[in-house]
Chain A
């Protein structure tokens, strides 16, 4: 009998190169974020000039009433905007998945248009529109900064939530709803007892995504915000022109940690509902 031969194919060069490249890309993606986190401990007066390690930026950020106010505005806007987008998007998504008809083509086209229109166009369009409706037609609620901001950031999110809910329901058998009606549920009961619970993970992740998207909303916010309700990103944009201070990095680090917690929550919810990694990625990007 021949002695057992132990030979193995070498790991190909291409594989090694690929993983080196992959890790380089990861480093590239994380570099500026790490820089911001590190520089949030900068004790100097200017962000980009290192003045020693310390926590003074955090103290200054929370002591600065303007910074705290803008962050609170942003969070309030994000909650309202996410609620709006989730309610509107979930209903639209269910309708798209379960009541398809000729209208779906038009509606899908509209959603697509909303997602591909550059944000700057939404922004410049909403500014005169709010002015028109608010001052000339006398719909005074539209003069409120929070309302304007929430509406502005709800548009894209509504489309995203509708996609999410639709793709989740399309992947699920409508027989479940049929089974419910076969078991004496009215169409309304089938909706609330079966369809909505089935959609719950998509609805929840849609809400959280809308929330984070709204936190990030800069362009539309820069145009529609009114005096007294400046959101956080617009405040940062202002200080890019007037001079960046370490407080910005400190508050951003706090916000980053909060956003990451929200994200981890999304991933956990999706995993609980049995989605695969690829599905989660698809869900998170709204694809």
Chain B
């Protein structure tokens, strides 16, 4: 058929003009250019600045002498404690997000009737697309000692809420702000574990708990990893939640970086702190992955079954 179709065509029109075919990446070129100029170059500049210094009160950075001094400064005890606190909030916040999101995502993916899942996802998305600052301010209103929640607590005899401007408030804020980012990939992951696989598991004698642990959870692993990264990475860099809910103490590394650029005008130190922040985020994620791999090793060993080659 193809032969029949193309034969008269070849006679009627000139052969395909290869030279007109654009080079493969031409369409992506503008985006390449854009991201190189406004992402790679400026971030590279920050990396460069991080080896510089602040020459005088009125200048922000100088790079005529390069050294690691700013890194040493960034890791000095006062600042290091902020990085540790950031790590604490990041790890605990991510774990809380996972623990809260897992049953909710599983519920939407498997228990909510199929025709209502879209609505449920829409509801999860609504806060996700509400202004970040505004919803954080909503928590500020709720947690305020003179607010309605506090008054209810007092009338119940539980005393006023004294969470605002503490680490606890920051934790509530970040869990709230990043929860949709955890629920959605988990939902997609659970949704992909097809009904027949869960049915097969039950058919083979596994109850619902066993089925979840031995079939659903292992198969949803890529989604869990994605969700954890989606939450952990922006959470580590977040400083707005801490600014709105955490008070003036400055407990997150993001605030530290911002203040070096905005108030202290020390771009060199701020840049070094930004680099340390990225490295902390990446290294802690790698360490966590390695630990998880080691901890689950006995389980994986127990379920392994090797028969060995042909008989």
A binding-site residues for B, Cβ under 8 Å: 12, 14-15, 18-19, 21-22, 25-26, 28-36, 39, 47-50, 84, 87-89, 91-92, 94-96, 99-101, 103, 107, 110-111, 113-114, 116-129, 132, 151, 154-155, 158-159, 162, 182, 184, 186-187, 212, 215-216, 218-219, 222-223, 233, 236-237, 240, 244, 248-249, 252, 255-256, 259-260, 263, 267, 277-278, 280-282, 284-285, 287
Contact = CB atoms under 8 A, between A and B. Distances in A.
B159 interface: no
B263 to A, nearest CB: 12
A158 B34 contact: yes
Contact of B108 (A22, A187, A260, A282): A22
A266 B95 CA distance: 31
Contacts of B179: 25, 28-29
Interface stretch (B76-84, B197-205, B253-261): B253-261
A51 to B, nearest CB: 12
Of B13, B100, B126, B181, most A-chain CB atoms within 10 Å: B126
B235 to A, nearest CB: 9
A186 to B, nearest CB: 8
16 contacts: A29-B123, A33-B127, A92-B32, A94-B27, A101-B25, A103-B25, A113-B39, A119-B237, A120-B238, A121-B277, A128-B46, A128-B60, A182-B6, A216-B132, A237-B240, A240-B140
B234 A119 contact: yes
A263 B140 CA distance: 26
B234 to A, nearest CB: 6
Interface in B1-30: 5-6, 9, 13, 20-22, 24-28, 30
B184 A92 contact: no
A111 to B, nearest CB: 8
A127 B139 contact: no
Contacts of A281: 121, 125, 184, 187-188
A127 to B, nearest CB: 6
Given A92-B27, A120-B258, A236-B133, A126 B208 contact: no
Given A91-B28, A120-B274, A252 B39 contact: no
B53 interface: no
A118 B31 contact: no
B89 to A, nearest CB: 14
B51 interface: no
A284 B176 contact: no
Interface stretch (B64-72, B141-149, B293-301): B141-149
Contact of A237 (B118, B122, B126, B133): B133
Interface in B130-179: 130-142, 144, 146-148, 176, 179
Contacts of B304: none
B38 A88 contact: no
A198 to B, nearest CB: 15
Interface residues of B, number: 101
Contacts of A48: 140-141, 144, 146-147
Contacts of A113: 39
Contacts of A49: 146
Given A151-B38, A187-B20, A218 B133 contact: yes
A263 B132 CA distance: 16
A92 to B, nearest CB: 4
Contacts of A182: 5-6
A279 to B, nearest CB: 10
B111 interface: yes
Contacts of B270: 124
Contact of B42 (A101, A126, A216, A267): A126
Contact of A21 (B107, B126, B281): B107
Contacts of B146: 48-49
Contacts of A186: 20
Nearest to B147: A48
Given A18-B103, A36-B138, A278-B188, 17 more contacts: A22-B103, A22-B104, A26-B123, A28-B176, A29-B126, A30-B123, A35-B142, A48-B146, A49-B146, A107-B28, A118-B254, A120-B257, A125-B43, A233-B131, A248-B134, A260-B129, A277-B118
